Amino acid sequence: MTTVIDLRSDTVTKPTPAMRRAMAEAEVGDDVYGEDPTINRLEALVAERLGKEAALFVPSGTMGNLISVLSHCGRGDEMLLGDQAHIFHYEQGGSAAVGGVHPRILPNRPDGAIDLQQLAGAIRGDDEHFPVTRLIALENTHNRCGGRVLPLDYIDAVGALARARGLKLHIDGARLWNAAVALGESPARLVAAADSVSVCFSKGLAAPVGSAVAGSREFIRRARRMRKQVGGGMRQAGVLAAAAIVALEQMVDRLAEDHAHARRLAHGLANIDGIRLDPATVETNIVYFDVIKPGWDAAKLSAALAAEGVRMNDTGPYRLRAVTHYEISAADIERTLTIVEAVLRT
Ligand code: TLP
């Protein structure tokens, strides 16, 4: 049986042998009492890597974003974010549902940024008709904008705007590690302007479970309370944190390989009749493309590919997403291209 090439997401990666060993050997304790030494070690490591005072281990990126938003905003407060943001599209409106936070979306440019003037213009004045604007949320890399990396000076400018207007800046950095590797910058530099950041270990870094949020000690104190409120206080979760530590120590630099595979995939796809994409926009490990062959749509193409052992997600009527990760080899990319071409020729 040939193995499946699973390009649906980097979330499908399984723990490495080193992670499994670390998990088996992890020292643990009750983390709600703050007594899990492995979680404490992970949180210190994350705070250091992100240049923040403190960090908190959470079960998922979704919970990391939710408790960050809830730690910055009260009910009826407004959050400015892009219309393509993961927080807006894929988190069930949790910040509105759970926290009563009002999302105000502004168009994301194709590069994942939100126009600075539009952001500035959207901040509400002191008027009893309006909600109070409290938070700006950015995403880096930007998932629905094709894994694009936000320019450093842009993040800094948004941070300066937020500070000048008394707002907080949160960065959804589920794939911040990919952004750092793509830019050749430290993750800390990328979030220097942010008041809070969420990062994931279980995407390209291949840990089985887990994310973290980081920020000031006071922010983390509030986030810790929120985590407990939404049921994310875990007990001997050091077995999970152990894998996350291995992820941080061993799996970040190799993301460059995933980016090279994504570029090769994008160039190959761009040369196939019936596919449209601009390979120049592929900066990290996410490749979006459109099927433009008459009689085809994304659902039909993803089903036809799945039948040949290649899995991708259809994310729009004609749009598909392929994500590279550490279980995808250079040979898998070549085989994928051969299969896409063959399928579209039928
Ligand atoms: N993204 C998943 C899906 O939810 C779409 C994926 O396959 O890409 N922020 C960003 C930018 C994300 O891409 C994701 C997951 C999350 C947050 C949420 O992380 P989890 O899945 O851990 O809750």
Average pLDDT over residues 312-332: 97
Task: Assess whether the C-beta atom of 40 lies below 6 angstroms from ligand 1.
Answer: no
What is the pLDDT at residue 346? 85
CA–centroid distance, 194 to ligand 1, in Å, is 20
Average pLDDT over residues 253-257: 98
Task: Assess whether the C-beta atom of 62 lies below 6 angstroms from ligand 1.
Answer: yes
Which residue from 86, 89, 171, 202 has its CB within 8 A of the most atoms of ligand 1, so it is best to mutate? 86
Task: Return the residue whose CA atom lies nearest to atom 21 of ligand 1.
Answer: 61
Average pLDDT over residues 191-207: 98
Answer whether residue 177 shows pLDDT above 60. yes
Tens digit of pLDDT for each residue in 53-66? 999 999 999 999 99
Average pLDDT over residues 319-343: 98
Q: What is the mean pLDDT of the chain?
A: 97
As a whole number of angstroms, the distance between CA 333 and CA 201 comes to: 24
Per DSSP, which regions of 191-273 are E strands? 196-200, 211-215
- Is the CB of residue 194 less than 8 Å from the CB of residue 170? yes
Average pLDDT over residues 84-111: 98
% of residues, the chain, pLDDT over 90: 99
Name 283's Cβ contacts closer than 8 Å, sequence gap at least 6: 141, 146, 147, 148, 149, 182, 259
Answer whether residue 1 shows pLDDT above 60. no
Tens digit of pLDDT for each residue in 117-138? 999 999 999 999 999 999 999 9
Tens digit of pLDDT for each residue in 280-297? 999 999 999 999 999 999
The answer to whether the pTM exceeds 0.85 is yes
Phi, psi of 154, rounded to the nearest 5 degrees: -65, -45
Average pLDDT over residues 311-332: 97
Answer whether residue 259 shows pLDDT above 60. yes
Task: Assess whether the C-beta atom of 258 lies below 6 angstroms from ligand 1.
Answer: no
Answer whether residue 218 shows pLDDT above 80. yes
